[in-house]
Amino acid sequence: MKGPSRVAVLGLGDFGYHFACELHQLGHEVLAVDSNQDKVQAILPNVTKAAVADVSDRPALGELGISDFDIVAVCVGERLETAVLLVHHLHELGTPRILVKVANDEQAKIVTLVGATEVIHPEQNTARKAALLIHHPRAIDYLELGAGQLVVACSPPSSIIGKTAGSLAWQDRYGVSLLAVWQAGQEGPPSPAKPDRTFAETDILLLAGHIDRLRELRKMK
């Protein structure tokens, strides 16, 4: 998203609720919709607007002005038939981006066939992230870029403490790039990794490379 967007979140289960709140905190205009009045009342202070409605009903979508939103997130849980019907309605309404929360790959294929532009698989994503973070004990967080390429934030291995960034030849020796270094307590973004930068135990390194090469760094002590 280039700037604040108008986002409608349909369905306020655990994921939909927190998704709507996070989007609003990031500065987006968020409409949260559910058929359960208690859920709508609970989220009202944390979004731009909240409404009680049967989201599977096309006239209700029209009354909510859904066609005016840039993005609509369908978060109706395990109810695949409802999700498919919703995507069909949204596609007919000309919604530019239709995001659908799915439970598995089969659901992802089905909602994509009927018009979803993107799918969200929170359980799968969370499990993969947890596994990768456990696999890389020093990893703090990571971003997948596609084709096996990752950007990883990690603590430095003890063997490089006191050494300079330029002395390690990251690309030649390990096949990864050292993008930046963030020092504990530092305000602002990470600093570019200058060759004379000496590593400290409290540093956080930002590394980029293929997952297979990053795996090799696990062996560094």
The span from the CA of 182 to the CA of 202, in Å, is: 9
Q: Which residues are CB-contacts of 92 (< 8 A; sequence separation ≥ 6)?
A: none
Per-residue pLDDT of the chain (221 residues; tens, 9 = 90+): 455 789 999 999 999 999 999 999 989 999 999 999 999 999 999 999 999 999 889 999 999 999 999 999 999 977 889 999 999 999 999 999 999 999 888 999 999 999 999 998 888 777 777 776 766 767 888 888 888 888 988 888 888 899 998 888 888 888 899 999 988 777 888 888 888 889 999 999 999 988 888 877 766 76
Cβ-based neighbour number of residue 179 at 10 Å: 17
**Residues 9, 48: Cα–Cα separation, whole Å:** 11
Task: Judge whether 30 and 47 are in contact, CB under 8 Å.
Answer: yes
With the C-alpha atoms ordered 87, 89, 92, 96, is the resulting torsion angle positive or negative?
Answer: negative
90-97 long-range contacts (CB < 8 A, ≥24 apart) are 90/61, 90/66, 90/115, 91/115, 93/61, 93/62, 93/66, 93/67, 94/67, 95/66, 95/67, 95/69, 95/71, 96/70, 96/71, 97/70, 97/71, 97/72
Residue 37 tokens read as: 């009045």
Total-model pTM? 0.69
208 to each of 71, 103, 118, 216, how far by Cα in Å? 31, 30, 26, 13
Helix (H, G, I), strand (E, B) or coil at 89: helix
Q: What is the DSSP pairing of strand 6-10 with strand 118-120? A: unpaired
Domains and CATH numbers, the chain: 6-120 (3.40.50.720), 126-219 (3.30.70.1450)
41 Cβ contact list (under 8 Å, min separation 6): 50
